[in-house]
Amino acid sequence: MADSGNEQIGESSSSRKRSRRQKLCNRHSVEQIQQLETFFKECPHPDENQRRQLSREIGLDPKQIKFWFQNKRTQTKALSERADNNTLKTENERFHCENMAMREALKNIICPHCDGPPPGEEERRRNLEKMKMANQRLRDEHERISNLISSFVGRSFAMTSQLAPQNNVGSLSSSSDESLVSQNIVGSPIENPNNVRGNSTAIIPPPSLPPSPPPPPFEENEEIRVDREKSIIFGTVISATDEIVELLQMNEPIWIKSQIDGRYFINRESYEKIYPKPNQAYKSAARIESSKESGVVTMTAIELIQIFLDPVRYMNMFPTIVTKARTIEVVDTENFGGSVQLMYEKLHILSPLVGARDFFFIRCCRQLDPTTWTMVDVSFDNLREIQSGGPSQSWKFPSGCVIQDLGNGKSMVTWLEHVYVDDKTHTNRLYRDLVCGRQAFGAKRWIITLQRMSDRHNFAMGANNHDLGGVIGEPEGKQNVMQISQRMVKSFCEILSMGDSLDFPTSSEMTNSGVRVSFRKNEDISQPKGLIVTAATSIWLPLSFDTVFNFFKDDKTRTQWDVLTNGNAVGELARIPTGFFPGNCISIIQPYVPKENNMLLLQETNIDPTGAFIIYAPIDLATVTSIINGADTTQIPILPSGLIISPDGRLAADRDGNGISQTGSLLTVAFQILVSANTNTNSISKQQNMEAVATVHTLLSSTVQKIKVALDCTD
């Protein structure tokens, strides 16, 4: 009875549908429906004007046309959804069948190597032993790379105790996995600092290795390790770049303006809320230095980026700041929209009293838009332990600069310095104010040096040269003189890092640091071969640094302090400007020494708001002639001496109370003398060494005394 009832209901519903279609056909002719179907294909949503026009053409009421189109759209949508549902249902059934087939296949899986059952407990144990051996192989590789890196810093470096494997199996399996995928740019695993900091227990000896040799490295695992390594480096660089760009756009409360000297520095509390550094441990005696500065540089953005990526050009651009620079590994040059490389640099201030700062960091140069570039330096966690054994532990938070090309051969450079320094030896009292006041290594010094050296580069490439007596006629000769002078300046700046020096202290540390003497055996063709002794001292003078510079720059007062002139007058034979300020130039000076007309002096002088220098070297007339005529300057040995003048960093109010000034200056005097042309230091007796020390000490002391008398600054 129920079935017959359902059949009657189905027949009645189908009959109702047929009756509705019949009514529709009766209501609209076949020709009208065809016209509506054709128009629907072209425009399924006609507006009111189109419906009226269609009404006139086919003879139907506009409301009828409106309702017909609504019904047609509903019918079309329902048919489309029904077709999609059928397709998805078929696809789902196919996936279900494949899933069931894969489950059945997994029940009968066999080992592809031995046609045996799936790996069991014994096989997993063997795999664990293989992982142990692979881990040990990677540790040996790490030790080899560590020795390689130590050559860049000139000291030995050993693995930390946290790299030793643990005894129990559970911890070994987890630590092995971490070691296999740990990230290290130079190609060997260094444990994550998060794990190191959490485990400070005693060293546990490694387990004994099985007698079988370790298996060969797995190429697939190596590729995965490198990819993982690069991904972490890129993540670090992207985060550092974003931080640099954001910081340079912020003001208060991140940046605070000093009421003493007007410089900006970072508010630590506000900074750490926005950019927390959970892995960074701070020591109470350490310092965090931060500063920013902007300036226009007479070079394009592309030129500056190329200099930053080339360690040699980078050192030549900042000879008074960067002593050493090396590219340890180029990480990427194509896939990141710029260049990413691991670098090492040593920074210094021009005095042997201030220790150098060693940095290992990632440098990324990246283009943000058609006119803007960034150069970002940031220290990397995996190399933290390498920096813990030197005289100072230096760490770079995201630092660098944003360069905006101005389109006229100039660029606007905004520089940010943000470093952590833990000096193990206290800075000498003379330089404490200059270093701790963010003046020695701050952003302003980088910007001013960049401006000064870009001007020097443009003067070298252009024709803005002035020759007093027509000694240097051709532009090639002038460029040759500028090249050897730049090498002289760089060589002099490098010798002021006197780590292996002998100290001769004085009784007054407030005004004099004493004399420091060091020996070195030189075999480089850029300087005379043999044993060279260097002596340097730094003193405080109650005069402004520009006053002291003008005294040394004046040829008329040179006889009062320069021992090379033997008290005779000097004359300037030629001058090549290296900047717009008259004091920035290269000179060839001739001392009027009787019967020694062949001895000349090559000298470069420079002054800017951060300090000044006068660097010179004796050179004979024949060598000067060959330089002017285009000889290879790299083959000419030169042994420079000189003077470095800088503000003392002690700020005080003007007498009128209108501002802050620095009335004192710091003077560093350094001499170099060739003791013996014999490169075999063993053949030089101890008495000869002591005689050389006594000679250079007397020479330096007498020069300093003459300077004090001439400047009326005696004790």
Q: What is the pLDDT of residue 171?
A: 34
Instruction: Please state, in angstroms and rounded to a whole number, the distance separating the CA atoms of residues 544 and 439.
Output: 16
Domain 472-651+662-711 is found in CATH 3.30.1360.120: no
Q: What is the pLDDT of residue 49?
A: 82
Taking alpha carbons only, the member of 335, 455, 428, 329 closest to residue 380 is: 329
In this model, does residue 210 exceed pLDDT 90?
A: no
Residue range 70-117, pLDDT digits in tens:
888 888 889 888 888 998 998 898 888 888 888 877 766 666 555 555
Q: Which of 68-82, 428-442, 488-502 has the highest mean pLDDT?
A: 68-82
Query: Hey, is 640 helix, strand or coil?
Result: coil
Q: What is the pLDDT of residue 47?
A: 84
How many residues belong to the chain? 715
Query: What tokens does 455 get?
Result: 């001007």
Please give the residue that has the higher pLDDT: either 651 or 389: 651
Q: Average pLDDT for residues 491-498, to the nearest whole number?
A: 85
Q: What is the pLDDT of residue 326?
A: 92
Please give the residue that has the higher pLDDT: either 28 or 185: 28
Q: What is the pLDDT of residue 55?
A: 79
Q: Average pLDDT for residues 421-444, to the nearest whole number?
A: 78
Give the least confident one: 177-186, 286-295, 308-317, 658-667: 177-186
Instruction: Please state, in angstroms and rounded to a whole number, the distance separating the CA atoms of residues 71 and 44.
Output: 11
Q: What is the pLDDT of residue 168?
A: 37
Buried/exposed 457-474: b ≥16 CB within 10 Å, e otherwise: bebbeeeebeeeeeebee
Contact indicator for 356, 381 with CB cutoff of 8 Å: no
Q: What is the pLDDT of residue 14?
A: 53
pLDDT band at 164 (very low <50, low <70, confident <90, very high): very low
pLDDT band at 221 (very low <50, low <70, confident <90, very high): low
Domain ranges of the chain: 41-78, 225-275+284-458, 472-651+662-711
In this model, does residue 220 exceed pLDDT 70?
A: no
Residue range 361-403, pLDDT digits in tens:
999 998 888 999 999 999 886 655 555 444 457 889 999 999 9
Summary mean pLDDT of the chain = 76
State the chain's maximal CA–CA distance in angstroms: 142
Which CATH class name applies to 225-275+284-458? alpha beta
Domains 225-275+284-458 and 472-651+662-711 share a fold: yes
Q: What is the pLDDT of residue 215?
A: 46
Buried/exposed 378-405: b ≥16 CB within 10 Å, e otherwise: bbbbbbbbbbeebebbbbbbbbbbbbbb
Q: Average pLDDT for residues 128-151, to the nearest whole number?
A: 75
Predicted structure pTM score:
0.67
In this model, does residue 516 exceed pLDDT 80?
A: yes
Instruction: Render 300-347 in DSSP notation, one character per residue.
Output: -HHHHHHHHH-HHHHHHHSTTTEEEEEEEEEEESSTTSEEEEEEEEEE
Q: Average pLDDT for residues 341-370, to the nearest whole number?
A: 88
